[in-house]
Amino acid sequence: MGISIRAGRISAIKYAAGTVSVVYQDKDASVTRDFPFLQEIYKMPAVGDMVIVLHMDTNTTRGLILGKYWTNNDKPAEGAAGLFRMELAPSKGTAYLKYSEGTATLLAAAILLAGGCTVNGSLTVNGNLTVNGSITATGGITAGGDVTAGGTSLKNHTHTDSLGGGTTTPK
């Protein structure tokens, strides 16, 4: 039994099984059987991606995909000592998870957090915030602009006095 390591291109993908077949251009375009990936994270490559294959016999019928590798045409989006970055979408920079120097970044067009979520520390929202449910605050609430509830402006509403006349807006 011999072990060999080869480089090839993904030729077909079985998504549900987590397997791929690989074509070797240096062997008359021969195509392997379906081989699994050596990984714990489900992130299937695209057809045409370059991968390293570990063959566990000399006739290449049993194998394991060790993973993709960087090439001159497929370089990492960024690189630095201490950087962790995982692309989540096929197009680099459109969705990724990144950790560097104590800061974690999650970038995506939309992020869904299912279940409860607790933030220990300050939270800044740059954009609009929609809450579908109740809000409970144990501290104060400060607004730099007007607050509207049930169509009534906190800044610009008026009351009718006991004689039926109007009052001035709050100051």
**Which CATH number characterizes residue 9's domain?**
2.40.50.230
- Tens of pLDDT, residues 13-57: 999 999 999 999 887 888 999 999 998 889 899 999 999 999 987
Tell me whether residue 110 is in a domain.
Answer: no
Tell me whether residue 55 is in a domain.
Answer: yes
CA-based max dimension of the chain:
102
Looking from the CA of 26 toward its CB, the CA atoms found within 13 Å total 3
- Flag whether pLDDT at 170 surpasses 80: no
Residue 97 corresponds to which tokens in the numbers above? 């998870």
Q: What one-character-per-residue DSSP string does the chain give?
A: ---EEEEEEEEEEETTTTEEEEEEGGGTTEE---EEBS-SS-----TT-EEEEEESSTTS-SEEEEEE---SSS--S---TT-EEEE-SSSTTSSEEEEETTEEEEE-S-----S-----S-----S----SS----SS----SS--EETTEETTT---B-TTS-B-PPP-
Tell me whether residue 93 is in a domain.
Answer: no
Tell me whether residue 125 is in a domain.
Answer: no
How many whole angstroms separate alpha carbon 51 and alpha carbon 94? 23
Tell me whether residue 26 is in a domain.
Answer: yes
Tell me whether residue 48 is in a domain.
Answer: yes
Q: Which of 50, 49, 56 is nearest to 33 (CA)?
A: 56
Domain that holds residue 19: 4-68
pTM check: above 0.85: no
- Tens of pLDDT, residues 70-112: 989 889 999 999 999 999 998 899 999 999 999 999 999 999 9
Number of residues that this document lists for the chain:
171
Tell me whether residue 87 is in a domain.
Answer: no
Tell me whether residue 21 is in a domain.
Answer: yes
Give residue 155's pLDDT band: very low, low, confident or very high (50, 70, 90). Answer: confident
The total domain count for the chain is 1
